[in-house]
Copies of this chain bind each other. A is one copy, B any other.
């Protein structure tokens, strides 16, 4: 990631400020505020605003439980209870806003999370920067032979080199042609006074899907946890997972009790079907259950054995 000098200055200026507020304030997140956390080769996330903290979740839960419960629960236990039982509305009482720079193909996955607010850099109004995502060699994975959605071994040698060459050359050439169609040079000056230049909203269609874009993205903590549970998961594409993992660190700083509950009851948890639970109960009674006798399909059996840390 290379922030421009202008961007670095803006961050320094924002961090040089400071005002007094009566709002809930989280020093650990203030320490991160505005700072860009690098993701992939040119991307970043940075927290630019937030509302609420662990106590705001507790406060919202308690208005729903009434005054009587104040003494009965302490905050950590209450938050864990809410997470375990999927009482989601108290987590909606916290809100966070990120500034994110990300490749367009990642943005296309990200935007599927609808309960959020977005303002994206517009390539109808403005010219996009010359920045493309090129995977690091260790992320240049082959198609999985087993799983239509997954990645297999890492490409090596001539095949890897050829892929990187194609990705680099095609992105660069298409960007050059983008500027040529716009009739602009790299500094945004007109190239050829005799030409009109293609409309920006049209020229952009020549760019490749690894071109970087950026946006402000704001969501509440419940929906952020839903996003993270899907995108920090091992089945998520590596590139969006890299963003989710950087965001997890900001959530840990912001709402440490909620984060811990999320980690235990969502990230590290597993849902067992009625049939799977029945198998576990039989096993705990000492019965040797086979897949055939389990009532589970082969695929479900394999998933269960993996969860239980057993050989299939």
Indicate whether A193 reaches chain B with its CB closer than 8 angstroms: no
Q: Tell me which residues across on chain B come within 8 A of A112, comparing CB atoms.
A: 89, 111, 118
Q: A51-B97, A197-B143, A201-B151 known; A119 and B274 CB under 8 Å? A: no
**Does A199 have its Cβ within 8 Å of any Cβ on chain B?**
yes
CB of A131 within 8 A of chain B? no
| Identical subunits present | 4
Task: Judge if A245 is at the interface, Cβ distance under 8 Å.
Answer: no
| Contact residues of A: prevailing secondary structure | mixed
A277 within 8 A of B: yes
Which chain A residues (282-303) contact chain B, with CB distance < 8 Å? Answer: 283-284, 297, 299-300, 303
| Given A195-B159, A300-B84, residue A270 in contact with residue B271 (CB < 8 A) | yes
- The answer to the question of A54 belonging to the interface, with a C-beta cut-off of 8 Å to chain B, is no
Please provide the chain A residues from 148 to 190 with a CB less than 8 Å away from any CB of chain B in the complex.
Answer: 148-153, 155, 159, 162-163, 166-167, 170-171, 173-174, 177, 180-182, 188
Query: Which of the listed residues A25, A49, A283 has the most CB atoms from chain B within 10 Å of its own CB?
Result: A49
In the bound complex, residues from chain B placing their C-beta under 8 Å from that of A153 are 196
Chain B residues closer than 8 Å to A207, beta-carbon distance: 208-209
The CA of A30 and the CA of B23, in the complex, are separated in Å by 8
* CA distance in complex: A205, B84 (Å): 30
Are the C-beta atoms of A174 and B182 separated by less than 8 Å? Answer: no
Complex: chain B residue closest to A213, CB-CB = B108
Q: What residues on B are CB-neighbors of A202 within 8 Å?
A: 135, 140-141, 151
Q: What distance in Å separates the Cβ of A284 from its nearest Cβ neighbour in chain B?
A: 6
In whole angstroms, how far apart are the Cα atoms of A49 and B153 in the complex?
42
- In the complex, A30 Cα to B97 Cα: how many Å? 20
On chain B, the residues within 8 Å of A44 by CB distance are none
Interface residue count on the A side (C-beta < 8 Å): 134
Take A22-B18, A140-B198 as given contacts and tell me if A89 and B117 are in contact as well, using a CB distance cutoff of 8 Å. yes
Task: Indicate whether A205 sits within 8 Å of B199 (C-beta atoms), given known contacts A33-B23, A125-B69, A300-B84.
Answer: no
A69: which B residues are within 8 A, CB to CB? Answer: 125, 148
Which residues of B have CB within 8 Å of A171? Answer: 206
B265 touches A126 (CB 8 A): no
> How far does the Cβ of A56 sit from chain B's closest Cβ, in whole Å?
7
Task: Write 16 A-B pairs (CB below 8 A) sorted by A numbering.
Answer: A24-B49, A51-B51, A65-B148, A66-B125, A77-B297, A89-B119, A93-B218, A95-B218, A104-B209, A143-B198, A151-B202, A163-B198, A166-B181, A265-B274, A269-B277, A281-B308
**Which of A's residues lie within 8 Å of B, judged by CB?**
14-15, 17-25, 27, 30, 33-34, 49-52, 56, 59-61, 63-69, 77, 80-81, 84, 89-90, 92-93, 95, 97, 103-105, 107-108, 111-112, 114-115, 117-122, 124-127, 133, 135, 140-144, 148-153, 155, 159, 162-163, 166-167, 170-171, 173-174, 177, 180-182, 188, 195-202, 204-210, 214-216, 218, 220, 237, 263-265, 267-277, 280-281, 283-284, 297, 299-300, 303, 307-310
